[in-house]
Structure 1
């Protein structure tokens, strides 16, 4: 009896989207080197969109694979681990190296990258045993998006003025970035639960009100994209903490304890 040959090869479209997202991360690193922090932040957010697309395409075309899972994790570490860490350090921390150890060293930068790597590794080994509706720990793309959107918001509003006085000085902005980097690092390696968007059935009929609501959201985002993006991702990051409040926890659906499958997304 002839043994069946294992099929070799990769699913082209999801892999191309994953590689494109990783190249956005590489571009962001190069942009930071050229002191173009706005483009670096935009590149990270574009990588976030591509990261969502590759998972959606893989599910729609039934082209999920173990190779895709590992490739996605490696790409995520570049685009959402290394790139935002370098961006935060070069834009906000490096100019104020005399403010103390937390600002002058690479501790926050290294911690963010390490936490992102731990988060991705933990996701890969638990992917078959967790409720796919939830993530354990803040997903690394969301953590990177908080940093990138904060940079964009502050770059577009470099001097927030209140009664003709600067509301946020450069030093305060730098301190806020350090706090954000530390917070995102700890949330990534925490055991907090975050709702996943993978359970949304885009192929099924949805209420008309949902379409109207999404249209309204698009208009709001278009009016102030950097501010809305920063608020959205910040609220999502805080959601894992908020859901621990007993009155809120009682009204939220609880994750399943038995395996339900699911591969993509970290």
Structure 2
């Protein structure tokens, strides 16, 4: 039957509702990205005010939002070039500038004085984070192993700084503590290295067929952060930092794990 004015109106309304729903779903990941950037910017402000622990907490929240926006984008099918670029810009604020400012204010004890060593090392972090993000955006290799990143990802590098602040922030203040700069320089150089670091994007994907591994890991982290948050943070951050060295050493121990258990957790 030929369409009437009523049926045409109904189809127009349905199409508008579907279009609005698609636009809302496409915007959802960007809201998490915006929250990531907001936490990173707030961390810069509170670092300048000397609230180092709060700044570390805000950087940690940025990491959570950064993981969430990617998972939400894959869940709603809203992975777009705009989203990828916006995520990188947010990461530069949260994991490039924020950790550098946090480390510098700790090292300089909040004094606005000429400090060439602190300036150079902290700028090294910002530069390496920017190079890392730019390389990630422009390097597209369809044959690459998606389970790994080339170079340490910037959220993982930022995790080393914030875990260190939680563990021994009071001992990190002062120009005589040059080892503080190693906490900045080593992860910074690893970000632009060609060393492979494990990617956990597939583990947090909503389409993972067997989420038992990520559920077990999430429960272990919840228990760890509830009982011993500082120790858990140090183990996670420095364990990931040293993973390229530790994994070849401990991988032979995987043979002792029953095949059935490995199948469930894989």
TM exceeds 0.5? Answer: yes
Q: Which residue of 2 aligns with 1:41?
A: 56
CA contact (8 A) 2:152 2:195 kept: yes
What CA distance in whole angstroms lies between the structure 2 residues aligned with 1:193 and 1:251? Answer: 21
- The alignment status of 1:30 with 2:51, answered yes or no, reads no
Please state how far the C-alpha of 1:36 moved relative to its aligned partner. 1.1
Deviation per CA, 1:197-240: give whole Å up to 9, x if none: 11225545648687556434321221121331122111101112
Q: SS state of the match for residue 106, structure 1?
A: helix
CA contact (8 A) 2:37 2:91 kept: yes
User: Structure 1 residues 218, 249: CA separation in 2 closer, same or farther (over 3 Å shift)?
Assistant: closer
Match of 1:239 among 231, 240, 243: 243
CA contact (8 A) 1:15 1:54 kept: yes
Q: Which residue of 2 aligns with 1:226?
A: 230
User: Could you state the TM-score of these two structures normalised by the residue count of structure 1?
Assistant: 0.75
Q: SS state of the match for residue 126, structure 2?
A: helix
Q: How many residues align?
A: 230
Equivalent positions of 1:46-85 (< 5 A) are 46-85=61-100
- The alignment status of 1:174 with 2:165, answered yes or no, reads no
Equivalent positions of 1:22-171 (< 5 A) are 22-94=37-109, 102=117, 105-129=118-142, 130-155=144-169, 158=170, 170=173
Structure with larger Rg: 2
Stretches of structure 1 lacking an aligned partner (at least 5 in a row): 1-6, 159-167, 253-266
Deviation per CA, 1:6-41: give whole Å up to 9, x if none: x9x782100110011001011001101211111111
Q: SS state of the match for residue 198, structure 1?
A: coil
Q: Which residue of 2 aligns with 1:16?
A: 31
Stretches of structure 2 lacking an aligned partner (at least 5 in a row): 1-18, 255-266
Q: SS state of the match for residue 201, structure 2?
A: coil
Please state how far the C-alpha of 1:154 moved relative to its aligned partner. 2.0
What CA distance in whole angstroms lies between the structure 2 residues aligned with 1:115 and 1:192? Answer: 14
CA contact (8 A) 2:152 2:191 kept: yes
Q: Which residue of 2 aligns with 1:165?
A: none
CA contact (8 A) 1:96 1:171 kept: no
CA RMSD of aligned residues (A): 3.2
What CA distance in whole angstroms lies between the structure 2 residues aligned with 1:113 and 1:16? Answer: 24
Structure with a larger share of its residues in helix: 2
Q: Which residue of 1 aligns with 2:197?
A: 194
CA contact (8 A) 1:93 1:178 kept: no
